[in-house]
Amino acid sequence: MPHPTPPPTSLSLALPAVREIAFGQPLHWLALAWRDIARCGWLSFAHGAVLALFGAALVLIARDRFWLLAGAFSGFLVIAPVLATSLYAMSRALERNEPVGVALLVRTWTSWQHARRSEAGGYWCLVRFGILLALAGTGWVLTSAALITLLAPQPIQGPMDFIRYVVLAPHSYLFELWLAMGGVMAAPMFASSVVAMPLLLDRRANMMQAVLTSWQAVLVNPAPMALWAALIMGFTLLGLGSLLIGLVFVIPMLGHASWHAYRDLVDASSLPERLAPGETA
């Protein structure tokens, strides 16, 4: 007797297909991102402005605790894929020739309220994944702060103290240890999130499917994904190093580019499309 076909909402770990891409493809994603920004205008830059203001608030709160500030900014990179959710939605709308406006952003950030149950593929998958990344970011902030506080030869109160007593300290490997620990924590989170949030936004996938698909994309394309990670880190450092002003441009660029990364890397046609509240199949 044949087994019945499970309903679309049943929990399944069937993964969508992952494509192999060329090494330089991440540069094409950045070009597509600027095309999207040109069409979205101020809505894209508003995302960058909000996050730049958030960064400025961090500086004000932790200006006398640079050990905490360093961890907070690096932890911010971990949860950035969640904060860019509405940028993914904007690129998807442009792709579908749908209107892009404030109403789209409101729907993107409130849709989870229409699916409060933890059913497979529901909007709560986005919320749970966001919480996971936030916990990872918080864990790194605490680890970074504890490491620098315990091992730095002098109290770290400002950027020059960090450079003098951590980066340039003679006969000390604290900076190398700090970077190594950050890499150990950041690498798996990057691999888990590189296409996970766009996939969760676009298709009725559960969190495990999204994370495993993201890992598969990295394993199939290690060199292009390494380039993509380096570009993300490099542009983010430029944004931070420009007194946060550069984040106004960097955040929307990387957010829109991440949507195009997902579209290039993942063939999600095997998964049902996620419909917005009020839409019918």
Residue 209 tokens, joined: 């499917």
pLDDT single digits (tens) 163-188 = 788 888 887 888 888 888 888 888 88
Stretch 121-136: mean pLDDT, rounded?
68
Q: What angle do CA 191, 194, 198 make, to 5 degrees?
A: 145
> In whole angstroms, what is the distance from residue 49 CA to residue 17 CA?
36
Q: Supply the pLDDT for residue 277.
A: 45
Q: Supply the pLDDT for residue 189.
A: 85
pLDDT single digits (tens) 203-255 = 988 888 999 999 999 999 999 999 999 999 899 889 878 988 999 999 999 99
> In whole angstroms, what is the distance from residue 155 CA to residue 148 CA?
9
Task: Provide the β-strand partners of residue 17.
Answer: 267
pLDDT single digits (tens) 143-155 = 887 888 888 888 8
> In whole angstroms, what is the distance from residue 27 CA to residue 213 CA?
22
Stretch 73-83: mean pLDDT, rounded?
66
- R_g of the chain, CA atoms, integer Å: 20
Give a three-class secondary structure readout of 157-197.
CCHHHHHHHHHCCCCCCHHHHHHHHHHHHHHHHHHHHCCHH
153 secondary structure, DSSP code? S
SS3 at position 264: helix
Is 61 a residue whose pLDDT tops 80? no
> In whole angstroms, what is the distance from residue 208 CA to residue 164 CA?
43
Q: What percent of the chain has pLDDT over 70?
A: 79
pTM above 0.85, yes or no: no
> Domain map of the chain by residue range?
22-265
> Whole-number mean pLDDT of the chain?
82
| 126, 200 Cβ separation under 8 angstroms | yes
